[in-house]
Amino acid sequence: MKNKLQQSYLNRLSFSTERKRSVQSAIKEKQAMEWADFQTSSITAILYSLEQEAKDGFTISSALLSDSHSHFHHNEADIYTLLHLLEEKGWIEGQWDEETRRYQLTFRGRRTAAKLKEKSRSVHNQVKQLVRIHL
């Protein structure tokens, strides 16, 4: 619906065809970047959330939705797509427990989460160093 509104709005404007294409391309690029940011931050949050214990998809999505710093403000069903992706990558494994599928980190998933944390610390330390240099 959002895309249809954007397209109809752009059609009413008196831009050249080239300009319209440029604007539409910029919109699509921004949407793709937002999706990539969403995926990256959500995958990282999922891995971190499973470090302590196995959880079901509902518990994971509830935690992500309640986190005000999370980029997880998309369709809740997206979480299950990401969980499936993480299973395919071998970072998590899911097992049915009665009527609930519970997910836990694999060895590869734990290693990936550790690397992500180290990278995050490194970026944080670089920013701290940058601030010290410029103050």
pLDDT 10s digits, 52-86:
999 998 898 888 877 654 555 556 777 888 898 89
pLDDT 10s digits, 114-127:
888 888 777 666 66
Q: How many CB atoms lie within 10 A of CB 89?
A: 13
Domains of the chain as residue ranges with CATH = 2-134 (1.10.10.10)
Question: Residue 91: how many CA atoms within 13 Å on its side-chain side?
Answer: 22
Query: What's the CA dihedral at 62, 94, 43, 24 to 10 degrees?
Result: -90
The dihedral built from the CA positions of residue 51, 97, 78 and 88, taken in this order, carries a sign that is: positive
Confidence of residue 128 (pLDDT cuts 50, 70, 90): low
Q: What is the mean pLDDT of the chain?
A: 76
**Is the pLDDT score of 3 beyond 90?**
no
Question: Is this model's pTM higher than 0.85 or not?
Answer: no
